[in-house]
Every structure is written in structure tokens, then in C-alpha cells.
A = this chain, B = another copy of it.
Amino acid sequence: MGSAFTIFKRHLHSNNMRMTHQRDHLFHVLLKSSHPLSIEQLIPLVDSHFVSVYRNVQELRKVGVIKQVPLGLKYSYELSDMFKPHHHHISCDGCSAVSGIDDEEIERLIDSAAVRAGYRPTGHSLEMRGICRNCRVTD
């Protein structure tokens, strides 16, 4: 049936792309990660040449498997909504810990604001920053 990995394979196939060891690995690293990873973080984690990491992130982005999100100072990458439910992140200014945020109402409101501006919404990215509980006490 439709496990994330099966969907991934189907997706590659229908785009005339091959399932290589390297892509398999990249996919699973992203699948297991609780937060988006930058290219820099990805390179040592994924067992393939750094050039292939660049290339695969690009290719998989083109076919909608991977999505780019602005996290902190760097862009990072995570699996698209096809594999992980749509959500956003908040990162702590103190310790840079990242948590996921999932709020339906925000989604609705963002889309309706787009419509009011005269656009048919196709997507958005939202990054939040704050001070987490721990850093608040410690400060």
C-alpha cells in the first residue's frame, strides 16, 4: 500500500528517475529527522558524495518530494507534505532548538489573505522564532 517509501518509489518511477542507494538513504535521513536539515548538515549524514547530495536535493525538489524551508540563517530541506503533514517550525533564539507547529486556522487565514490580495494560493512558508521555556528560566 501507501507507505511513504512506496509513494516515493512510485514517484521516482513516474518521473523516469531511478531509485539509487543514495536517494534511498537521503530519503530515509529526511524521513527520520524531526526537523529540516541544511545541505551542510545533510552531507555528512547521507552516505554519498556531496555533489550527489546537491544534485539529489535539487532533483527531488523539482519533482516535489523535497521542500525548501527557511530555517534560521540557512535554507533547509525536508520531505514535502506528500510524506509529512503540512506544518511549520519555531526555533529558539537561545538554544536554536526547533519545534513543529501545526495550526489549521493559521493555514486557512494565510490562504484567505492570499485570495484577498488577488492570488490563487499555491503555497507558503512560515518560520517562527521565540525563546523556549528552558532558555527563559536560564536567562
- Chain A residues packing against B (C-beta within 8 Å): 68, 70, 73, 75, 90, 92-93, 99, 101, 103, 105-106, 109-110, 113-114, 117-133, 136
A70-B70, A106-B106, A109-B103 known; A122 vs B114 contact (CB < 8 Å): no
CB pair B129–A126 under 8 Å, yes or no, is no
Minimum CB–CB distance for A30 against chain B, Å: 19
Contact for A109 among B68, B106, B129, B132, CB less than 8 A: B106
CB pair A125–B90 under 8 Å, yes or no, is no
Which residues of B lie under 8 Å from residue A109 when comparing CB positions? 103, 105-106, 109
Q: Oligomeric state, in number of copies?
A: 2
Question: Would you call the interface of chain A mostly helix, strand, loop, or mixed?
Answer: strand
Minimum CB–CB distance for A120 against chain B, Å: 5
CB pair A123–B129 under 8 Å, yes or no, is yes
Q: Give A29 to B4 CA distance when docked, in angstroms.
A: 47
Q: Give A103 to B110 CA distance when docked, in angstroms.
A: 9
Which residue of B has the minimal Cβ distance to A92? B119
A118-B133, A122-B93, A136-B120 known; A128 vs B103 contact (CB < 8 Å): no
CB pair A125–B122 under 8 Å, yes or no, is no
A70-B70, A106-B106 known; A122 vs B113 contact (CB < 8 Å): no
